[in-house]
Structure 1
């Protein structure tokens, strides 16, 4: 009799628990102004851009468990992919859907995965051209698949906080997004406040993207890294003549622009080409050695005349993750060492790893020829 009563009470408790845990609909507005309602927080997400897994990792203890399919771009950063694979082996079973670009992303395969949400970047939502904007989203919406657009690339300092908030709402973790956004804003505001000092000079920066590649010198125009340089109190020489987000500068132009500081970017994808190597799994010695070797091979007169403490390298893939706050801090410290002597980008990255990222970044993500970082 008592056992039967206990069983009845347990069954009732389980019913009440299930009812109480029933997810509520989620309504949000994405970067494009699209209003989206999900019947429940998303659990089968298609990421058109695989690198958005890095943003999910700031919000969820097992970001891979949320991904039903993805673009293949994160796999091109094999070292970072391996960080995820070691922590979450199930990542190996996530289906590839092609490139995140609209023309090469497989919508048919994505639809077959029965996602409850598709996450696009601005680039993936039409290839970056105004004529195609919204093309991919419209095709998913036509068959009833919810879509949101977020972006950490095209205008990172304007859209990162909103994008992370949108993503947090979509997966039912708005408090995690709020916590990171608060951390992010505090760090950027501290830099901005000090840069208000009257009469502050803006050093001229030559940012050499994919340093050591087949041609010289690929550089940001008014693109992502240009925003980082300006936020750190510098002037990007590429923005003076490049009409788009990126382009190529001639060695002659670089010399005539007389940069005060050199910042190359690179990653583990440059190991075979002999370029600047930075990122997951890279040692500090390997990073500094690759920076020195890259500059020696290029033999740029405008750079060889700079003192070692003005020659630096930075991880290229800071360009598409909310962790780019570390890149802004690095640039501020390099550009204005007298103003930001107490700034500690390494401590900032440690705090991000410990407080936020479910897959911590482990490796060397910047280096300096002068040996002070």
Structure 2
């Protein structure tokens, strides 16, 4: 960035300090252990990942009203989810893109031009450049916090939501969400207590099934931790060293996984499986059948035995993943978890928390003999 642009932005960035006398400071410790002080509750937030507006929506009645810039991930990578946000809050169309949420990362110049009094970055979304971006923004006097629901959601979700609750002035609601999240996870964990390795089914997670070349799958990361927690064994983790990668079709077929789980949503209508906001269950189920056939997965024992499913890909980066964990546990361990009710959890999230409700089919299953 040219020096004159930085100098021009600095007086604007200093403006929040003018109201420090009217409101007490907010001190938070983010998930990286950084202690950050805000002079007051933020009114102009930049999100490194736009999808984190969905996490804010669990706590705030109008999260979009606080956002003055965000990454391109919702508009570019998840058009159906973005359509849901703008349907509820049309002002989303006026929020400028400040850079790529992945790859080259955010533009520091665009972030500063938005005149934020807080920048929220993701450990997962910002990749390896997260620490450098935090340092560069903080050096200019702008508070920066890091949250994460992707890299290690089983560890960091509640901590991240507590941080968001503090900065948004919604601590009581954050505590209520923490209680729901903890209760749902404890119920699953208690059902699966004592589960032996031999009792864990081999699970093929087919990421963005039908929308990208076969066969994308998670390695060690978000989905892997959730599959393990829900009582399964992630096939991808045995071959993929990173968080995501490719499995050869021949390998998948020879491994004969016990459960097949496709993810859908972003590529709905573009070869993938539509799932998520506004999606009809019958439409999603029909697309799942087509994708399985096109991907040559129809010979898998999981498919023949009625253990083929699809779930909304967005669960891999939202605190609402409690819904996914319940669905996975039902599929992996029906004898222990068959009575779990993810639909009831969605209803409770909508009633008590979400200002952007979850409406539409977020998961589907195929009965035996569907193909």
Q: State how far apart, in whole Å, the 1-side matches of 2:41 and 2:26 are.
A: 6
Distance 2:180 2:277 in 1: 23
- Using a 3 Å threshold, how does the CA distance of structure 1 residues 83 and 213 change in structure 2: closer, same or farther? closer
- Within 2, Cα distance between the matches of 1:296 and 1:137? 45
Residues 74 and 82, structure 2, Cα contact 8 Å, conserved in 1: yes
Calculate the TM-score normalised by the size of structure 1. Answer: 0.89
1:80 and 2:81 are equivalent in the alignment = yes
The answer to whether the Cα contact below 8 Å between 1:259 and 1:302 also exists between their aligned partners in 2 is no
Per the alignment, in what secondary structure is the counterpart of residue 204 of structure 2? strand
Q: CA deviation at 1:257?
A: 1.8
How far residue 369 of structure 1 moved from its aligned partner, in angstroms, is 1.0
**1:319-347 deviation per Cα after TM superposition (whole angstroms, max 9, x unaligned):** 11000111110000001111112210111
Instruction: Give 3-state SS (helix, strand or coil) of 1:219's partner.
Output: strand
Matched residue, 1:184: 181
- What per-residue deviation string (whole Å, max 9, x for no partner) do you get for residues 267-300 of structure 1? 143312x222211111011000000011111222
The answer to whether structure 1 residue 160 and structure 2 residue 161 are counterparts is no
Q: 2:350 aligns with which of 353, 356, 368?
A: 353
Pick closer, same or farther for the CA change 1:210–1:23 going to 2, 3 Å: same
Three-state SS of the structure 1 residue aligned to 2:151 is: coil
Alpha-carbon distance between aligned partners in 1 of 2:295 and 2:22, rounded to the nearest angstrom: 61
Whether 2:147 is the aligned partner of 1:150: answer yes
Residue 105 of structure 1 is matched in structure 2 by 106
1:128 offset after TM fit, Å?
Answer: 2.3
Q: How far 1:80 moved relative to its partner?
A: 2.0
Q: State the 1:185 CA deviation.
A: 0.6
Q: For the Cα contact (< 8 Å) 1:48–1:70, is it kept in 2?
A: yes
Correspondence for 1:15 = none
Name 1:11's counterpart in structure 2.
none
Equivalent in the alignment of 2:127: 128
- Shift of residue 223 of structure 1? 1.6
> Using the alignment, how far apart are the partners of 2:195 and 2:141 within structure 1?
55
Match of 1:368 in 2: 365
Q: 1:235 aligns with which of 200, 209, 233?
A: 233
Residue in structure 2 matched with residue 338 of structure 1 by the alignment: 335
Deviating beyond 4 angstroms after TM superposition, the runs of 4 or more aligned structure 1 residues are: none
Write the distance in 1 (CA, Å) between the matches of 2:120 and 2:223: 24
Q: In the alignment, is residue 206 of structure 1 matched against residue 204 of structure 2?
A: yes
Q: Which residue of 1 aligns with 2:96?
A: 95
Equivalent residue number for residue 283 of structure 1: 280
Change (3 A) 1:269 1:298: closer
The size of the alignment, in residue pairs, is: 347
Matching residue of 1:39: 39
- Partner Cα separation in structure 2 for residue 216 and residue 99 of structure 1: 25
Instruction: Please give the residue correspondences for 1:178-327 in structure 2 after superposition, counting only pairs within 5 Å.
Output: 178-197=175-194, 199=196, 201-272=199-270, 274-300=271-297, 302-303=299-300, 306-327=303-324
Matched with 2:16 is: none
**Alignment RMSD:** 1.9
| 8 Å CA contact retained: 1:265, 1:313 | yes
Partner of 2:4: none
CA–CA distance in 2 between the matches of 1:194 and 1:221?
25
Indicate if the aligned counterparts of 1:48 and 1:118 stay in contact, CA closer than 8 A: yes
- Structure 1 gaps of 5+ residues are 1-18
CA distance in 1, matches of 2:294, 2:241: 28
Measured after TM superposition, the shift of residue 248 of structure 1 is 0.7
1-side partners of 2:221 and 2:336: how far apart? Answer: 26
Deviation at 1:60, TM superposition (A): 0.4
Q: Which deviates more, 190-199 or 227-236?
A: 190-199
Q: Measure how far apart 1:214 and its partner are.
A: 4.0
CA distance in 2 between partners of 1:96 and 1:198 (Å): 46
Is the alpha carbon distance of 1:270 and 1:135 closer, same or farther for their aligned partners in structure 2, counting shifts above 3 Å? same
**How far 1:78 moved relative to its partner?**
2.0
What is the TM-score when the length of structure 2 is the normalising length? 0.89
Please give the secondary structure, in 2, of the residue aligned with 1:137.
helix
Shift of 1:102: 6.8
Rounded Cα–Cα distance in structure 2 between residues aligned with 1:293 and 1:205: 20
Check whether the contact 1:29–1:36 (CA below 8 A) recurs between aligned residues.
Answer: yes
CA deviation string 1:221-261 (max 9, x = no partner): 11211111101011011111111111111122112222111
